[in-house]
Structure formats: structure tokens, C-alpha cells
Structure 1
Amino acid sequence: MNLKKIHHIAVICSNYEVSKDFYVRVLGLTPIREVYREERDSYKLDLEVNGQYQIELFSFPNPPARVNNPEGAGLRHLAFEVDNIEVEVQHLRGVQVEVEDIRIDPWTQKKFTFFKDPDGLPIELYEC
């Protein structure tokens, strides 16, 4: 195999408008295109992350809840690299997002923290 990079990450949300607001307004991701797929009664919003990666935000009627705490098998979390974690944590707390205390990775000595999207998907900020 010759994998080059992650092309996109797909996230299914329970309330499309709430999650769209969170990923666009709170996290600052840039919408690329939004389509409604009538045959699935589903929206799909493509989001750009700093011009490099893409997150696909989906709505589906009545998706099952995500297994969380204790962690279930599958995707554990979504992680974003940031330059200054304190600034980003201050922003999130300023828009009423609950953020864990900043920790230090014992192997890399880098700062990181976690918060959750509206459906409880864990999101990590990692300072590089």
C-alpha cells in the first residue's frame, strides 16, 4: 500500500443544525459544499480544515447513540494540531464549551486536552 494522507473523516450527528454550528462557528472550519440527499433524508456538509483535510458532517434520521464512557471499540477521538493550546482553550471556554484541564503527554512532553462535540464525540487539541 502507498497511503499518502487522510483524505477525510466522516461524522454522523444527531442534530444537524447544532453540529453544523459547532463545527463551523465554534471550531472555525470552512464549509466547502452542502448537499441534501433526498433519497436518504440526509444532509452532507464538507468542511475544510486549514486548507488541508476535510471533515464530512452527516445527518441521518434517528442515528443510534455513540457508545461512550467507558470507551467502545471504534474511532476513539478526533485530534487537531494547534500552535497555542491556551488560546484555543480560552476560545472554547468563552463559547461555553466544557474543556478538560491541559495535560502534558508523558512521552512527547507536548500539551494536549479534550472536549466533546454536541454528540459526545471526543475531540483532542494537541500543541505542536
Structure 2
Amino acid sequence: MINNNTYFQIELTARRIRQYGQNVLKSQGIDITIEQWLVMNVINENESINQIDVGEKLVKDKPTISRMVNHLEKKGFIIKTSSSTDSRKVELTISKKGETMINNLYPIIEKIRFTGLNELSEKEKEIIGTILVKIRKNLDA
């Protein structure tokens, strides 16, 4: 019965995507997680973003984002600085080492992203995208 449940199928697919991606990164000797890559990518695309905004964009809770940010800072991929406008906030930027990692990972991440979609037509991809957006909108209500 659970195997026929749409939500279960969505969750199972999301887990499999993460697992596949992690296996690809590991096989390449890359020591970051897919989730850490997403954090780095959001920071890279949003100059001087804070942890709260990163969490909102990735729909992650504060402790999870904080843990990932601290880990990425220790590895030298991101830089934390005090906000010039709000002393309670910390702004996040990508370091040179982080930029290099992002640039090196783009082709690998693209391969990960598109492997599961290889045999789908453009119309099927469009339909899936539309359906997933509708589901998220229903849950935002």
C-alpha cells in the first residue's frame, strides 16, 4: 500500500537522487555533501547572504544550516563576517578555495542532476516540474 502512495514515491525519489549524488561525489574523492554543495551554491549566487536567508532558500532549519555553515567555514570554503547593517547577523561569502571547488564541481553536479532525467522527454520534464510546483504551493497555503 505504501509503495503506491504518491508522497512516498516523491520522498523515495528525492532520497535516491541525494544518494546517487553523494556516491558520485565520493567516487570523485570530493569531501563535501550534496547539501553542503547547495549551501555553497546559494551563498555564491547571493552576495553577502546570511544564514537565515540560506535556510529559507533551501527550506532547512536553523541548526542544520548553522552546522553546515560551520563545517564549510572550517574547510575554508566560506567566510563569515559581521553584517555592516545588523550586528546580530553574520554575512556569508564564498572564499577563493570555495570558488575553485564550485567551479570544479559544476560539471559533476550537472551530470548528477540530469542522469535521472536522461530518458524523459522535454514534455515529461515540464509536466513533472509543473506538478511539483503545484504540490509546493498547496503546502504553502
Same fold (TM over 0.5): no
Which has the higher relative contact order, 1 or 2, with Cα contacts under 8 A spaced 6 or more apart? 1
Higher helix share: 2
Higher strand share: 1
Question: Normalising to structure 2: TM-score of the pair?
Answer: 0.29
Q: Which has the larger radius of gyration?
A: 2
Question: Normalising to structure 1: TM-score of the pair?
Answer: 0.30
